[in-house]
Structure 1
Amino acid sequence: MATQTAPQRRASERERFDAYLATCPARKLLDRISDKWVSLLLNALADGPRRYSELSRTLAGVSQKMLTQTLRTMERDGLVARTVTPAVPVRVDYALTPLGASLLPIMTAIKAWAETHIHEVDEAQAAYDAGRF
């Protein structure tokens, strides 16, 4: 292994985590957090822990399989904590971890932007489609 100077090491580290590069591990994370269910779940958990059934009712259109899969992935990534309380029936709560909470302001802003600008996007799509046919 060749030795590197300090500036070369810094440049190498910058390249290692450059999301524009195909080999960058940050790409996997960007892919995951850009998923619609992840962003909606983060926003749904903003006010505190929620039970699975509450999350299912809040996220209209999510299948049981997709909700379970997304929550497991978010737990694995350290964004969500799952707490099981022994009772009859067993109670399972999901809450944002500090890491998940740190992502919340960005996701809240994206959700608000989408809700504010959906009409403009719809109009742009309609104008684009009208010109294409």
Structure 2
Amino acid sequence: MTDHLLSTDEREQGSIFAPKFDPAGLLTAVVVDAASGEVLVVAHMNREALDRTLESGKVYFWSRSRQALWLKGETSGHYLDALEIRVDCDQDALVIRARPAGPTCHTGARSCFYRRVESGDEGTVLVKVKT
């Protein structure tokens, strides 16, 4: 990885991985199940989380609420093994294809996206998705 400035064309079409972190030093990481394509979690990574993920193959994040680095699965044993990391066109977001070793959500759900938003006569409600 390199931090030197790239032209827009180099950033969008070139082969240099130069992630563009936001002013807080973060970029968005969307983790999907490599087998099913299901979105498991959306979180943030700082440079250290990204570096550790690349080095270890286990997915790390930066917790904005705790202001700390965390290895997904460190306490639960439900690690996310990174199989592929893709970067978007302007290199400020990642999609990580991973193999989950159990439920991804801290609630015990397979995915953090276990509820659907529905609008109806009673207003807007959340409905649990069957997995």
TM-score past 0.5 threshold: no
Q: TM-score range by the shorter chain?
A: under 0.3
More helix by share: 1
TM-score (norm 2): 0.24
Q: Which structure would you say has the larger Rg?
A: 1
More strand by share: 2
TM-score (norm 1): 0.23
